[in-house]
């Protein structure tokens, strides 16, 4: 039998490139579709396998005519709040028109689809921790809404395709994930703090730093996505699961932790809190635990240590 073929949108991005690696490890043929907007060809340069193909493609356009596909992993979307305003239209369309194109492609090939959703669909949550039944508290017209609402629409479209065409679609709501291959200028908090500490600059905490997040190391995320994608149809078709760390931390404590782990001599400075910045975030992962026996096991300190060499190399500076 030939190897299953997975089409990964956003394969040149942070999560997407790790996903490509893991699929190749699992003997898939893999085609990445990416417009190299926030992703980089360098993230795929290490791949020598002849089972891999990288195609420059913008998912806002109908997908290229590939011979076959068994799986579609729809992961293409800028994900940094820094881009939510500067790339608002592209983000909104990548998660609406792009999802439409991904689902039409999956329908044509009768491919199983794994859709990357986000904890952002819960907005500034009033239920804590967030479970999959919670409908969220999103500002429809705020600066984050092109991302949040298009991800919500993406899920709605997935439900529609699942219902109307009986497609096998599985949705992962990803909570803050970090690791090597995040761009140092990505704008998200861990790349910012690591870059600032390595450059001996002050760490910029937005607001008073009492807002919380739960940070998942990328290998833990992949350890959840892999069995979810592979699970029997009866178990997982149409399912939605949260994937993320339950180790909740205040952003000010994160800054202090990074300074400690790196033994850096940076100060902490406070900057304005962006509008609609969620005050708390932590996933309820009971469903993923029950379905997949999954739970993350890389501590924040250990994940930071594993991420550090990549940032040292990217920035050409070392903490020593
Ligand atoms: P990323 O920016 O590193 O990766 C996104 C990839 O999608 C990039 O390679 C980019 O070039 C590509 N892309 C964007 N718009 C495109 C378009 N119109 N056409 C084709 N390609 C396009 O971000 P990431 O953190 O790796 O996020 C990957 C996915 O995971 C996204 O769907 C994101 O919403 C989701 N997610 C990530 C996190 C996280 O913490 N990393 C959290 C929640 C959800
Ligand atoms: N943040 C910060 N300093 C930074 C970047 C981000 O204090 O340099 C805060 C941000 O306001 C938010 C949290 O860190 O409360 C996580 O931000 P990120 O952009 O990584 O992702 P979000 O969870 O907001 O989507």
Q: Please state, in angstroms and rounded to a whole number, the distance separating the CA atoms of residues 170 and 180.
A: 26
Confidence of residue 247 (pLDDT cuts 50, 70, 90): very high
Please state, as a whole number, how many other Cβ atoms lie within 10 Å of the Cβ of residue 137: 12
Please check whether residue 45 is in contact with residue 88, taking contact to mean a CB–CB distance below 8 angstroms: no
Q: How many angstroms does the Cα of residue 77 sit away from the middle of ligand 1?
A: 4
What radius of gyration do the chain's Cα atoms show?
19
Catalytic residue among 122, 147, 178, 217: 147
Q: How do residues 118-155 score in pLDDT, each as one tens digit?
A: 999 999 999 999 999 999 999 999 999 999 999 999 99
As a whole number of angstroms, the distance between CA 189 and CA 277 comes to 12
Q: Please enumerate in sequence order all residues whose Cβ is within 8 A of that of 135, keeping only pairs 6 or more positions apart, or say none.
A: none
What is the rounded average pLDDT of the residues 106-113? Answer: 98
* Both tokens assigned to 268: 């902490």
Q: What is the mean pLDDT of residues 203-216?
A: 98
Is 147 noted as a catalytic residue in this protein? Answer: yes
Amino acid 108: pLDDT: 98
**Pairing of the two strands 240-243 and 169-174:** parallel
pTM of the model: 0.98
Which residues are 73's β-sheet partners? 8, 114
Residue 256 in tokens:
């202090």
Judged against a pLDDT cut of 80, whether residue 291 lies above it is answered with yes
pLDDT at 320: 73
State the pLDDT confidence band at 22, using cuts at 50, 70 and 90.
Answer: very high
* Residue 45: Cβ-neighbour burial (10 angstroms; 0-12, 13-18, 19+): exposed
Confidence of residue 296 (pLDDT cuts 50, 70, 90): very high
Q: Which two tokens stand for residue 293?
A: 């026996």
Q: Return the ligand 2 atom nearest residue 281 CA.
A: 23
What phi and psi values does residue 118 have, to the nearest 5 degrees?
Answer: -155, 155
Average pLDDT in the 54-75 region?
A: 97
The residue extents of the domains of the chain are 5-178+216-243, 189-213+246-282+297-315
Name the residue of 78, 81, 177 to mutate for ligand 2: max ligand atoms within 8 A of Cβ. Answer: 81
The whole-number pLDDT of residue 319 equals 77
- Identify whether 129 is preceded by a cis peptide bond (ω within 30 of 0): yes
Q: Both tokens of residue 241?
A: 């699961």
Atom of ligand 1 nearest to the CA of 57: 20
For 21-37, give the secondary structure using H, E and C.
HHHHHCCCEEEEEECCC
Over pLDDT 90: what percentage of the chain?
Answer: 98
By most ligand atoms within 8 Å of CB, the mutation choice from 186, 206, 214 for ligand 2 is: 206
**Beta bridge partners of residue 25, listed in sequence order:** none
- Overall CATH class of domain 5-178+216-243: alpha beta
* Cβ neighbour number for residue 297 with a 10 Å cutoff: 11
| Average pLDDT taken over every residue of the chain | 97
Q: Does domain 189-213+246-282+297-315 have CATH number 3.90.25.10?
A: yes
């Amino acid at each position: 039998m030939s190897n299953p073929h997975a089409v990964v949108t956003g394969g040149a991005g942070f999560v997407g490139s790790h996903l490509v690696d893991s699929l190749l490890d699992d003997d898939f043929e893999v085609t990445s579709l990416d417009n190299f907007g926030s992703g980089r060809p360098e993230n795929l340069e290490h791949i020598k396998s002849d089972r891999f193909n990288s195609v420059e493609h913008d998912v806002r356009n109908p997908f290229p005519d590939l011979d076959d596909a068994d799986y579609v992993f729809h992961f293409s979307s800028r994900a940094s709040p820094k881009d939510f305003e500067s790339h608002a239209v592209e983000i909104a369309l990548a998660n609406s028109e792009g999802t439409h194109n991904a689902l039409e492609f999956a329908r044509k090939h009768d491919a199983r689809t794994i859709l990357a959703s986000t904890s952002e669909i819960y907005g500034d949550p009033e239920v804590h921790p967030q479970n999959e039944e919670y409908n969220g508290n999103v500002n429809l017209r705020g600066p984050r809404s092109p991302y949040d609402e298009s991800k919500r629409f993406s899920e709605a479209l997935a439900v529609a395709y699942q219902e109307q065409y009986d497609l096998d679609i599985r949705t992962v709501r990803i909570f803050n994930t970090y690791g090597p291959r995040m761009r140092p200028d990505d704008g998200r908090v861990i790349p910012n703090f690591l870059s600032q500490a390595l450059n001996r600059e002050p760490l910029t905490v937005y607001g008073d730093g009492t807002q919380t997040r739960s940070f998942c190391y990328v290998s833990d995320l992949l350890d959840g996505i892999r069995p979810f994608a592979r699970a029997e149809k009866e178990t997982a078709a149409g399912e939605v699961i949260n994937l993320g760390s339950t180790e909740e931390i205040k952003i000010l404590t994160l800054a202090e932790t990074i300074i400690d782990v790196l033994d850096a001599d940076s100060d902490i400075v406070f900057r304005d809190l962006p509008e609609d910045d969620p005050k708390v975030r932590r996933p309820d992962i009971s469903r993923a635990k029950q379905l997949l026996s999954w739970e993350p096991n890389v501590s924040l300190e250990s994940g930071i240590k594993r991420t550090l060499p990549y940032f040292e190399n990217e920035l050409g500076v070392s903490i020593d």
